[in-house]
């Protein structure tokens, strides 16, 4: 069958919030994508997802091994939204069975895993695209177009920053699933900022990163920094009414992060107000005091990179910021680009002798969606579908081969932080 313009079929692997966002393309544009199976060990997730996409019982599986053993290849592709430590483990049997894969970031939890995945994908001639959705956000895609066109000349330095809001830091990296590298498999740099490190590598194109150093620490969200009078849980705490990290405020009154806090909320299962209160008071990990959790990931980290051509870059992660934001500043031989994604525009500055040897400035407005990835989620899955149809990949393409250098920066940065030394980044054949 001619692949171009035909509907692509996919199975969902890990029916969590992120995978269902990508799979929603099947509802928005069924002519592009059809969901034909679901893999998840949780029976409620399997049933709800099966009902959502009208899947028969024989299209529901507990693991990728079971899918491959019982049914083989039932779709063109898999949308893998499992947790970090399971990414490679669940993808390898899919590749061996002939599936192409859209894989949630980070690719894996170690360099060895990532390189093994690359080898298996190449051996089986399979397409793997990574969910680096920021490449598809109009803000960053437009910046990349300007860089590619040579608008600022050769890049000399780059600075990026991610400021994680206090409520996001609390729900995901203190109380939640990414609070401990031992539990989820990833450091906070890799689970949160591999997007930003990927952007640095992407902006440099074929120029590989060569050296990295990094410093960071868990400074604030630890027991010895707890305010006087803080309890073990928010709903049994004397200072809760005045605390900005109040679980009651965030998850009940403001209804923030419901897909994290309440099981199966992303599948339409609601929890009564009374049960929510009881849960936060007793067994729900999201009801714990942010200073008295079992979190061990850093709450701030800085990374410095030197590329093979001598250019440099820095990235700064801060957890607990008042305003969530992602910033970028590129300075080249002929100009610079600077902006904050959430502001919805960036500026281009170029030296301008006509203005008294100062500079001219162009403001480029972007229609940024309100989703946390700047409108990149659906654009990513649409590009994945186009690639599987045989069309030319977009400038934003997150093919596995194009996504490895950002991960190498991150893995080696964490090693540098631990060892307090400058670390060489290995060269990998990504052609």
Mean pLDDT of 51-71: 97
Provide the pLDDT for residue 1: 39
pLDDT at 368: 67
Residue 50 has pLDDT above 60, yes or no: yes
Q: What is the mean pLDDT of residues 75-95?
A: 97
For residue 2, name the pLDDT band (cuts at 50, 70, 90): very low
Contacts of 157 (CB under 8 A, 6+ apart): 311, 312, 313, 330, 331
Q: Is the pLDDT of residue 123 over 70?
A: yes
pTM confidence score: 0.94
Average pLDDT, the chain: 95
Residue 372 has pLDDT above 70, yes or no: no
CA distance 266 to 385: 24
Q: Lowest-confidence range among 207-216, 305-314, 365-374?
A: 365-374
Q: What is the mean pLDDT of residues 393-422?
A: 96
Question: Which one is predicted more confidently, 292 or 369?
Answer: 292
pLDDT of residue 11: 98
Residue 367 has what pLDDT? 73
Confidence of residue 370 (pLDDT cuts 50, 70, 90): low
Provide the β-strand partners of residue 336: 331, 349
333: confidence class by pLDDT, cuts 50, 70, 90: very high
Return the percentage of the chain with pLDDT > 70, whole number. Answer: 97
160-185 per-position pLDDT tens digit: 999 999 999 999 999 999 999 998 99
**Poorest-confidence range of 9-23, 303-317, 356-370?**
356-370
Name the percent of the chain lying above pLDDT 90.
Answer: 91
Domains by residue range for the chain, with CATH: 8-126 (3.40.50.720), 134-221+295-424 (3.30.360.10), 227-287 (no CATH)
Query: Would you mind telling me the total number of residues written for the chain in this entry?
Result: 431
Instruction: Tell how far CA 315 is from the center of its chain.
Output: 16
Q: What is the per-residue DSSP string for 244-283?
A: TT-HIIIIIIS-TTHHHHSTTGGGT----HHHHHHHHHTT
């Amino acid at each position: 069958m001619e692949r171009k313009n035909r509907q692509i079929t996919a199975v969902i692997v890990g029916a969590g919030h992120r995978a269902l966002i990508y799979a929603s393309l099947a509802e928005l544009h069924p002519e592009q994508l059809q969901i034909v199976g679901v893999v998840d060990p949780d029976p409620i997730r399997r049933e709800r997802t099966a009902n959502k996409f009208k899947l028969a019982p024989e299209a529901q599986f507990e693991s990728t091994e079971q899918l491959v053993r019982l049914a083989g290849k039932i779709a063109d592709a898999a949308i893998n939204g499992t947790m970090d430590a399971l990414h490679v483990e669940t993808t390898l049997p899919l590749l061996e069975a002939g599936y192409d894969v859209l894989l949630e970031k980070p690719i894996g939890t170690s360099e060895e895993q990532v390189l093994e995945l690359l080898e298996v994908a190449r051996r089986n001639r399979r397409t793997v695209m990574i969910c680096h959705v920021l490449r598809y956000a109009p803000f960053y895609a437009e910046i990349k177009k300007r860089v590619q066109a040579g608008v600022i000349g050769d890049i000399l330095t780059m600075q990026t920053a991610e400021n994680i809001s206090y409520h996001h830091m609390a729900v995901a990296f203190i109380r939640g699933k990414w609070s401990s590298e031992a539990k989820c498999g990833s450091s906070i740099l890799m689970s949160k900022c591999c997007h930003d490190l990927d952007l640095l590598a992407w902006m440099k194109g074929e120029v590989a990163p060569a050296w990295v150093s990094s410093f960071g620490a868990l400074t604030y969200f630890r027991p010895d920094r707890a305010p006087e009078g803080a309890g073990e849980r928010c709903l049994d705490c004397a200072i809760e009414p005045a605390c900005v990290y109040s679980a009651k405020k965030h998850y009940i009154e403001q209804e923030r992060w419901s897909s994290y806090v309440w099981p199966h909320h992303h599948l339409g299962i609601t929890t009564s107000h009374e049960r929510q209160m009881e849960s936060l008071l007793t067994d729900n990990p999201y009801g714990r005091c942010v200073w008295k959790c079992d979190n061990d990931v850093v709450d701030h980290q800085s990374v410095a990179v030197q590329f093979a051509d001598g250019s440099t870059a820095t990235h700064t992660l801060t957890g607990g910021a008042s305003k969530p934001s992602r910033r970028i500043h590129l300075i080249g031989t002929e100009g610079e680009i600077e902006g904050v994604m959430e502001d919805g525009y960036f500026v281009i500055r170029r030296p301008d002798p006509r203005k008294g040897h100062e500079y001219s400035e162009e403001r480029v407005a972007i229609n940024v969606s309100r989703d946390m990835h700047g409108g990149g989620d659906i654009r990513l899955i649409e590009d994945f579908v186009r690639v599987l149809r045989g069309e030319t990949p977009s400038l934003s393409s997150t093919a596995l081969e194009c996504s490895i250098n950002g991960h190498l920066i991150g893995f080696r940065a964490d090693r540098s932080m631990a060892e307090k030394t400058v670390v060489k980044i290995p060269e990998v054949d990504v052609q």
